[in-house]
Amino acid sequence: MPASDEEAIARILDAVDEVIAEHGPAIRLADVARRLGVTRQTVYRYFPNADALLIASAMRSVNGFIDQVLDHVGGLNDPVTAVVEIVSFAVESLSGDPQLESLLTQPPGGEAATSLTSDTAITFCLSAFQRLDVDWKLHGFDDTALRQLAEMTLRTVQSLLTDPGQTPRAGLALRRFVAQWLGPAILHPRMTSLSIHERDATIR
């Protein structure tokens, strides 16, 4: 009997890793429950579906990847610089990771590929954003906007990992590309906030 939810989740993800190692990413909650000797309802308590299991397993298997990202961008307080570096670092670090690639590409049987924009993945990304040195409120981000930015960040990472283009970008070229197209979206909440304040000041 697990002593805490954290221990229960760890045991479930250990079982997921074992099932993936034996049978590949096309897993079912029933497979994981059987491996643990528990009912499916026990697994459902922590993970709503197999997609959530796969994402959580992938996130954990990256060996403290979120901590690596946060160490890499530590001290950056500009949201554009921080997010561009997060995307670029993630793409460069995860490219070629066999488990992640197997999850993000469509299996031969035609099942849908795992999405990095599941609720589980977005929660992971939000937790990372909230640990950055960025004052999100100062830059116009409320909870909804920050969640949307997390989704857009993950969509960008997934796109660049699964289809890097004929000439994959890296280094400065990758960062310029991401900044050019994602940067304006990150600035938008701040610009909107400033415009509202300027309009209110004019009315007064």
On the question of pLDDT at 110 being above 60, the answer is no
Rounded CA gap, 114 and 76, in Å? Answer: 31
Radius of gyration of the chain (CA): 19
More confident site: 172 or 25: 172
What ranges do the domains of the chain cover? 5-47, 63-203
On the question of pLDDT at 108 being above 50, the answer is no
**Lowest mean pLDDT, pick from 112-116, 145-149, 200-204:** 200-204
pLDDT single digits (tens) 21-48: 888 777 899 999 999 999 999 999 999 8
Tell me the pTM. 0.71
More confident site: 202 or 67: 67
pLDDT single digits (tens) 87-106: 999 999 888 776 666 566 55
Mean pLDDT, rounded, for 73-81: 96
Rounded CA gap, 113 and 116, in Å? Answer: 10
On the question of pLDDT at 52 being above 90, the answer is no
CATH class, domain 5-47, is: mainly alpha
CA atoms in the 13 A half-sphere facing the CB of 200: 6
On the question of pLDDT at 112 being above 70, the answer is no
Residue 63, pLDDT score: 53
Instruction: Report the amino acid identity of residue 139.
Output: H
Rounded CA gap, 45 and 19, in Å? Answer: 19
24 Ramachandran zone, left/alpha/beta (phi>0; psi -120 to 50): left
Residue 22, pLDDT score: 85
Closest CA relative to residue 15, chosen from 27, 1, 3:
27
**Lowest mean pLDDT, pick from 26-30, 63-67, 95-99, 196-200:** 196-200
Residue 186, pLDDT score: 96
On the question of pLDDT at 117 being above 60, the answer is yes
Express as a percent the part of the chain with pLDDT over 70.
Answer: 84
Rounded CA gap, 93 and 109, in Å? Answer: 28
Confidence of residue 177 (pLDDT cuts 50, 70, 90): very high
On the question of pLDDT at 75 being above 90, the answer is yes
